[in-house]
Amino acid sequence: MAGHVLGFIHSIDPKELEGSDYSINSLIGKSGLEKQYEKELRGQDGARQVEVNVGGRPVRELVTLEPHPGNNLYLTIDSKLQKALELSMEQNLQRLQQQNPKAKVASAVVLNVKTGEVLAMASSPALNPDDWKGNFKPELTDYYIPQGSYDPMKPGALSNRAIQSTYPPGSTFKPITGMAALEMGVMDPLHDLVNCSGSYWVAPFIKCTGVHGNVSYYNALAVSCNTYFQEMGRRAGKDEIIHVASEFGLGSRTGIDLPYEEKGLLPTAAWKKEIGTALLKRKYERLFKELDRKYANLMLDAADAEERQKLERKKDAEKAQLEAERKIDYNFNTNWQPYNTFNMSIGQGDNDYTVIQLANYAATIANGGFLMKPHVVKKIVSHEGKVLKIIKPEVVHEVDISPLSIAETKRAMLAVTQPGGTAYSLFSHFPADIQVGAKTGTAETGRSGDNPRKEYHGVFIAFAPVDNPQIAMAAVVEYGNAGYASAGYLVRDVFEQYFGVKDHLTSPEAEKNCLNEVARILT
């Protein structure tokens, strides 16, 4: 279990030998905890210095250095939750692949909302650390590191997608927009109604998930109304949305004690100007060079000076036209436009976050506004049993968002799992004292070649119990389409396991055998 979290050891790279006390035969941590805590885990090799005779035979031992085992790591991972998550991921990917063969990738993170401890983390396709011991088998290359451009049918198992891949959050971002509107004082969560007729009334007239009529904050989050949140995004403005998102850690590394964590992207006006300027510079440099080459070739074929003069005038006219287009293009594509705000407000556009960020964002809502630093290691203990270090909960910061805005958002997220909400069917059987706050997401993939009207990633965030939250979770299933029908199943199964609603670790066959054995003993 938890192969990506544990990581693997493999032969040392010659470059890593420089300035180290490793040998060419050393095995070294390459990923996961094996890499992150290489120094703590490694220990020290033993050695003997001996005196030999002319024949090379040892005659006297001079110095003996005893080997010392490395330290032990005690993890925050709950083995039962980890197993339940991995089983759920395997079963649901198999189910989803019957509808879309591309649904081969999933990742999820479960956090203790009060401490930041990672209770479970999984990424599929799975990584088996034993595959990397000794000589790596060539037949495994295609499984771990497929060659060529990215192919959804061969996603590659080397990456821990929970921290190394980024995704558009889809509608799981809407609580951010809601809190931004609440903080700006432009929305009453109960009485301020927005009429949804199926699409927003401002260009580019983004469609909604349905025709919802008059909706409040609670209704809108429950049914995931795009129209409502575009309007709230317009009222709150991009700067406040960006501020709230950054307060909840979106677009920033969490600082988890695992290597290779990606940053993600929280788009800003400054970012758009920078990236837009760079892209347009390359685009128009290419276009102007093509124009020069075109007329250079025409000049070579010109019959006389008069034809060359005509070509020069024509080139100047085309160049002026291209320059005018460049200015229009630059003004539009380097400046923040209203459609950028509308897309951001519903979790689309350039939003791109890791699963660990989404889980931590949900946990921060759950705990009332304390952004914690996630961690996988609980303590480091020597081989002799001495506790060398205890990793204590660390608050990154308390969010600059009012407790009232967070409380109203928790109430709105509860509506998602209540009758009429998009996730009601997943948690309707939970006991009354274990209410779940959640948000579903169906995110456009943004990948070249995908059908934006038919292919989506399923995204889901949740925490429970609402009145005294203990755990929070985020999950993504690539090409899972609706979040409630894909990633939501992973969350449901883990929450069932954690709260004792259902034991996913006991198979039907095992239960049947157990009952048969009881019956045999009784008779």
pLDDT tens by residue, 347-393 = 999 999 999 999 999 999 999 999 999 999 999 999 999 999 999 99
Assign 264 to helix, strand or coil.
coil
Q: Same fold for the domain at 3-74 and the one at 75-169+353-397+424-523?
A: no
The fraction of the chain above a pLDDT of 70, given in percent, is 97
What value does the mean pLDDT take over residues 62-85?
89
Residue listed under structure tokens 């432009």: 186
CA 484 distance to own-chain centroid: 17
Query: Domain residue spans in the chain?
Result: 3-74, 75-169+353-397+424-523, 269-339
User: Chain centroid to CA 481: how far?
Assistant: 16
**DSSP per-residue letters across 211-250:** --EEE-HHHHHHHT-HHHHHHHHHHH-HHHHHHHHHHTTT
Report yes or no: 202 and 194 within 8 Å, Cβ to Cβ: no
* Cβ-contact 127, 102 below 8 angstroms: no
- Measured CA to CA, the distance from residue 221 to residue 249 in angstroms comes to 21
Distance CA 270, CA 203 (A): 23
Confidence of residue 27 (pLDDT cuts 50, 70, 90): confident
The residue type at 317: A
- Residue 126: helix, strand or coil by DSSP? coil
Which of 12-16, 80-84, 298-302, 486-490 has the lowest average pLDDT? 12-16
137, 14 in Cβ contact below 8 A? Answer: no
Give the helix/strand (H/E) hosting 469.
Answer: none
Across 69-78, average pLDDT: 95
Fold (CATH) for 75-169+353-397+424-523? Beta-lactamase (3.40.710)
pLDDT at 510 over 60: no
Q: Mean pLDDT throughout 326-353?
A: 94
* Angstrom distance (rounded) from CA 78 to CA 498: 10
Q: What is the mean pLDDT of the chain?
A: 93
Predicted pLDDT of residue 232: 97
**pLDDT tier at 45 (50, 70, 90 boundaries)?**
confident
Does pLDDT of 519 surpass 70? Answer: no
Q: What tokens appear for 449 in the block?
A: 């070649």
- Residue 439 and residue 221 in contact, taking contact as beta carbons nearer than 8 Å: yes
CA–CA separation, 270 and 113 (whole Å): 33
Indicate whether 514 pLDDT > 60. Answer: no
pLDDT at 509: 59
Using a 10 angstrom Cβ sphere, with 0-12 exposed, 13-18 middle and 19 or more buried, the burial of residue 248 is buried
Say which residues have a Cβ less than 8 Å from residue 7's Cβ, sequence separation at least 6.
29, 30, 31, 32, 33, 34, 35, 36, 129
Average pLDDT over residues 242-260: 97
Locate 318 and state its tokens: 């085309």
453 band by pLDDT with thresholds 50, 70 and 90: confident
What distance in Å separates the CA atoms of residue 250 and residue 318, rounded to the nearest whole number?
A: 45
Phi, psi dihedral angles at 389 (to 5 degrees): -160, 140
Radius of gyration for the chain, computed over Cα atoms and rounded to the nearest angstrom: 29
Residues paired with residue 28 on neighbouring β-strands, in sequence order: 10
Model confidence pLDDT, tens digit, residues 382-410? 999 999 999 999 999 999 999 999 999 99
Task: Confirm whether pTM is higher than 0.85.
Answer: yes
pLDDT of residue 11: 87
Contacts of 434 (CB under 8 A, 6+ apart): 464, 465, 495, 499, 501
The sign one gets for the Cα dihedral 116, 120, 125, 128 is positive
Length of the chain: 523
Helix (H, G, I), strand (E, B) or coil at 388: strand
Please say whether the structural domain 3-74 has been given the CATH code 3.90.1310.10: yes
Residue 517 is predicted with a pLDDT of 63
User: Which residue has better confidence, 237 or 518?
Assistant: 237
Averaged pLDDT, 468-495: 97
Relative orientation angle of helices 79-97 and 487-499, to the nearest 10 degrees: 150
